[in-house]
């Protein structure tokens, strides 16, 4: 809300939208009155976005006509793009920015294994569309701000306006698999691994 400043009637696009961060970012944008389009891998996740989380539309990033689907889903252009992945998805979203668009740079799952960035993004679009790219980092916010955010999120959850997706596994040995599946896009929402011998529930 601070960096993206989504407004009623605007179109907000979120990548890795079925993930831990993306699923919350998209729902918050919706609560702010925006029309929200989620990008995720696979039809199962797209259904989850639209049917369970109330996204207005979902697009499978592996679809051969991904760029066309994104354009069709955002006929007036993208007002806010919340980027968790960088790479080709960021490039395609830059192509469809509306005038005055904002891009929240939150993560870079597709470039985690690369040294440094690739200088092949559609950055002239940023010039032509008078857009703004801004980094977002949770640790920039004070304890007080984070406390306020948690209060607000908790209220939305209690009101049934915000849903949390979690997948649970049990045992320390499941940690690597949970992390690998998360990065490979095989899981949805937050991955919770319970340690044997603890009684956290
Ligand atoms: N700035 C901050 O304060 C902050 C805080 C926490 C996390 N983060 C960042 O936010 C991002 C999301 O974190 P998360 O924990 O919620 O992870 P996540 O979204 O649950 O998992 C990552 C997802 O990225 C997608 N993905 C994987 N490879 C991709 C590729 N090559 N191209 C496009 N998408 C790909 C997959 O989803 P699909 O297959 O469904 O697309 C995968 O499930 C990460 O980059 C993380 O580092 C930033």
pLDDT digits (tens, 9 = 90+) for 49-89: 999 999 999 999 999 999 999 999 999 999 999 999 999 99
- Parts of the chain with a pLDDT under 50: 201
> In this structure, are residues 142 and 111 in contact, taking their beta carbons and an 8 Å threshold?
no
Cβ 109 under 6 angstroms from ligand 1: yes
> In this structure, are residues 53 and 23 in contact, taking their beta carbons and an 8 Å threshold?
yes
What is the CATH number assigned to the segment(s) 11-142+150-156? 3.40.50.720
For 22-37, how does the pLDDT look when each residue is reduced to its tens digit (9 = 90+)? 999 999 999 999 999 9
pLDDT of residue 199: 53
pLDDT of residue 175: 94
pLDDT of residue 200: 52
Q: For the chain, which residues make up each domain, given as ranges?
A: 11-142+150-156, 165-200
Our mutation pick for probing the ligand 1 site, out of 2, 15, 19, counting the most ligand atoms within 8 A of Cβ, is 19
> In this structure, are residues 14 and 36 in contact, taking their beta carbons and an 8 Å threshold?
yes
- Give me the torsion for CA of 27, 152, 6, 52, rounded to 10°: 10
**Ligand 1 center to 197 CA (angstroms):** 30
pLDDT of residue 196: 72
The dihedral of CA 28, 31, 35, 40: what is its sign? Answer: positive
Atom of ligand 1 nearest to the CA of 87: 32
pTM for the full predicted model: 0.94
Beta bridge partner(s), residue 189: 19
Cβ 41 under 6 angstroms from ligand 1: yes
Tell me which residue has its CA closest to atom 30 in ligand 1. 110
**Ligand 1 center to 85 CA (angstroms):** 6
**Ligand 1 center to 16 CA (angstroms):** 5
């Amino acid at each position: 809300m601070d960096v993206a400043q989504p407004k009623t009637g605007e179109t907000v696009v979120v990548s890795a939208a079925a993930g831990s961060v993306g699923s919350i970012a998209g729902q918050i944008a919706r609560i702010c009155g925006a029309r929200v389009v989620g990008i995720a891998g696979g039809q199962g996740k797209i259904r989850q976005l639209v049917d369970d989380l109330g996204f207005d539309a979902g697009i499978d990033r592996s679809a051969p006509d991904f760029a066309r689907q994104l354009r069709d889903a955002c006929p007036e252009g993208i007002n806010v793009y919340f980027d968790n992945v960088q790479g080709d998805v960021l490039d395609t979203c830059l192509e469809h920015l509306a005038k005055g668009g904002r891009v929240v740079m939150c993560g870079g799952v597709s470039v985690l294994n690369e040294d440094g960035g690739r200088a092949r993004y559609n950055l002239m679009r940023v010039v032509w569309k008078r857009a703004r790219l801004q980094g977002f980092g949770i640790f920039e916010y004070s304890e007080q701000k984070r406390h306020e955010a948690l209060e607000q999120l908790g209220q939305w959850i209690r009101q049934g306006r915000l849903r949390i997706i979690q997948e649970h596994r049990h045992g320390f040995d499941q940690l690597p698999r949970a992390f690998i599946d998360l990065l490979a896009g095989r899981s949805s929402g937050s991955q919770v691994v319970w340690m044997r011998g603890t009684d956290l529930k």
